[in-house]
Amino acid sequence: MVDILAGMAIARLPLVAIDCPDPGALARFYGAMLDWKVDVSADRASACPEVGQCIAFHRVADYVPPTWPTRERPKQMHLDMLVDDLDAAEETVIELGATKHPDQPGTSYRVFLDPAGHPFCLCLD
């Protein structure tokens, strides 16, 4: 089943999204550290190089930071990946071992859990 996918990407990874209490502050921090361009809106922000993947920051109400390295509150982030066809990509990631999350808050993206339980989204390109 997975052998048929060898050499065929079904998704692209344009950014990593990190939950936080203040997206603008975190984007400015990483933007300054990496010398990347920063874009800020009300509940989201990003830091991006001229070419390559970006880091996005999403506001989360009642955010509680991780307590790494303890497991009381583990690291918090998720991956957003662009796809051309949500239905085809969903079928493939499920075949690879993902689980579709029961909560689907949007229509232009779908939320899944990887085999270890980490969330990721497939988003229409």
List, for residues 78-124, the tens digit of each pLDDT value. Answer: 889 999 999 999 999 999 999 999 999 889 999 999 988 888 999 99
Pair 45, 56: CB distance under 8 Å: yes
Could you give the domains of the chain?
14-76 (3.30.720), 78-125 (3.10.180.10)
Q: Model confidence over 25-63: pLDDT tens digits?
A: 999 999 998 999 999 998 999 999 999 899 999 998 998
Task: Give Cβ neighbours of residue 108 (< 8 Å, ≥ 6 apart).
Answer: 123, 124
Residue 35, pLDDT score: 94
Question: pLDDT, tens digit, for every residue of 3-13?
Answer: 556 677 888 88
Q: pTM value?
A: 0.71
Provide the H-helix boundaries in 35-120.
Answer: 86-96
